[in-house]
Structure 1
């Protein structure tokens, strides 16, 4: 049964119905996007292919922009980058669907707009993404929503909200109100010096990340559970992402977003949500490719790398440990 969401028309503060721009080269996908947007209460401002829009024949940008890009050639990537910039400045919301093969190129085009990126999405995933965009519209009212669809939307909302809460308020941390990092209480080794602090430590050795093969062996052991149990039973994308990036940092390897989605062990769209939340909470950083500014890599922030090194040291997995002691 397909999700059937129906909303009252959505309006801005001036009472004007919000508009959507739909850009897709695949006819069937473009038609489905239009149907879903209209059902959500948007009026269609533009509905055409990427090349047609880029040609300048159409130039309007709706409050919501739905894009389907499966062949990110130079022209398409240039258009996506412009859309990212325009949406980032205007506050328009972007929902972009693509394929796993095109993910790295598409991901690299979006850094300003906070676009939702969906990988090989089904109809329900697109509907849910539009529903998330509607959460930013004030005074939104649901007109008709079947109980099954209501539960599906509720589960998704709880999942996304829970994800953000776990990352932002997992434990008391560095930032006011808590954060994703947990730090030990300061000891007598700390002393004030004006507005600065210096540390006197009996042990000046700073924990370092274990060697790459050691972390890879740990990852392999985690993955081995799927041979005997349902992999969903142990789904832990945040930790799998951190482990993969820790190993890559030790190996001095850059990590593309496609590789990281695979390492997360969950559907790519779900992995992208985790990556986005982890970047927002400073666990991860987005690094533009110096050789191709349209692409980007993901890495551990320095604080995260330090916390992971301390964790590995705590469990006896130091930088000089051998794989056999795991």
Structure 2
């Protein structure tokens, strides 16, 4: 009966079937990822543990690389960094699932390949990630989709579209005729010094961010709403991310990806998607740890910090009493 459920191969414009490499130490996860990739029409090149792949001969990655890395061991991080470099050069799409405990280390390994990083995902989240990969392949030859496939892709498109639309409207006045996706590249204005960073002296006429304690008071007030109402009513990850990074900037502290995901108030995978979109929109910047290049922090871009300062000044937030 299994044959009744097999999908037709998914091919590129040249008629070649897309290939996938599946890497996971957990047997059941590896089996699920292989089944889902094959169900989507991919041809499996490799399916093994991370250690087996690292010790084997150098092989082609294929069009898609599915990785499950639950522990941030040195060997695993070295392999992820290699996959990021190879994927970025070869144009392979990477989908990497990990745990909250390993997120900071895993995130720091990817800077070239635009990998999708999923945190403690369910099987459905992995399937959606594969769907996003297929959506990025130009001139893709797809089999005719069933109703469930069509609805899944519609939900995915709607979610990504909502993120892009909300980011586009986030700061429409920052540049004449443009929104968040048309910022000029921010000039570097701070650099790591141990566990903090230094900010260059701003122009006297520009407002400065209020004291960090004031911003933290606003954040606490926002979070207290969940005591009385369903927290999902007020989910606004982009704003929560901006507030947390504003407070950190005022405190001259660096913010890890894990900490920022918690501050966003949404599931970590969703928060990562927001962070990635905001980095792409030049609202945020990714900063390498000067002491460990495998780690990375997230901070406000120069233009974003300026807009946050102007916003706080316009609403008189600096005049609020700190509890």
Distance in 2 (alpha carbons) for counterparts of 1:221 and 1:54: 48
- 1:139 match: 140
Instruction: Mark the CA change 1:13 to 1:176 in structure 2 (over 3 Å): closer, same or farther.
Output: farther
Q: Which has the larger radius of gyration?
A: 1
Q: Deviations over 1:121-155 (max 9, x none)?
A: 001000000000000222343434234x5334312
Deviation per residue, 1:291-321 (Å, 9 max, x gap): 0000000000111000000000000013x65
User: Structure 2 vs 1, CA of residues 101 and 157 (structure 1 numbering), >3 Å: closer, same or farther?
Assistant: same
Number of residue equivalences: 299
> In structure 2, do the counterparts of structure 1 residues 206 and 169 end up closer, same or farther at CA, with 3 Å as the change threshold?
closer
- Shift in Å, 1:89: 0.8
TM, length-normalised to structure 2: 0.87
Runs of 4+ in 1 over 6 A off after TM superposition: none
Q: Secondary structure at the match of 2:45?
A: strand
Equivalent residue for 1:119?
119
Partner residue in 2 for 1:249: 249
Contact kept, 8 Å, 2:107 with 2:295, in 1: the verdict is: yes
More helix by share: 2
**What whole-Å deviation, never above 9, does each CA across 1:195-226 have from its counterpart, x for those lacking one?**
xxxxxxxx953201011111000000000000
- Structure 1: how far apart are the matches of 2:276 and 2:32? 26
Q: Report the counterpart of residue 321 of structure 2 in structure 1.
A: 322
Q: 1:176/1:115 Cα in 2 relative to 1: closer, same or farther (>3 Å)?
A: farther
Instruction: Measure, in 2, the Cα distance between the counterparts of 1:7 and 1:146.
Output: 14
Q: 2:304 matched to 1:304?
A: yes
Distance in 1 between residues matched to 2:241 and 2:280, nearest whole Å: 15
Q: Does the CA-based 8 Å contact 1:70-1:98 persist in structure 2?
A: yes
Residue 73 of structure 1 corresponds to which residue in structure 2? 73
**SS state of the match for residue 271, structure 2?**
helix
Partner of 2:154: 154
Mapping 1:1-326, distance limit 5 Å: 8-57=8-57, 59-137=59-137, 138-147=139-148, 150-168=150-168, 170=170, 172-173=172-173, 178-180=178-180, 204-318=204-318, 321-324=320-323
User: Residues 174 and 181 of structure 1 are in contact (CA less than 8 Å); yes or no, is this contact kept in structure 2?
Assistant: no
- Contact kept? 2:24, 2:50, Cα under 8 Å: yes
Cα–Cα, structure 1 residues 81 and 226, in superposed 2: closer, same or farther, change >3 Å? Answer: same
Q: Distance in 2 between matches of 1:182 and 1:146?
A: 37
Distance across 2 between alignment mates of 1:244 and 1:170: 16
TM-score, scaled to structure 1: 0.86
Return the offset for 1:164: 1.5
Runs of 5+ consecutive residues of structure 2 not aligned to the other structure: 184-202
Q: Distance in 2 between matches of 1:165 and 1:85?
A: 31
Give how far 1:165 is off.
Answer: 2.7
Please tell me the root mean square deviation across aligned C-alpha atoms, in Å: 2.2
Equivalents in 2 of 1:278, 1:117: separation in Å? 15
Report Cα offsets for 1:12-57 as digits up to 9, x if no partner. Answer: 3332111000000000000000000001110000001101111134
User: How far apart are the structure 2 equivalents of 1:321 and 1:224?
Assistant: 18
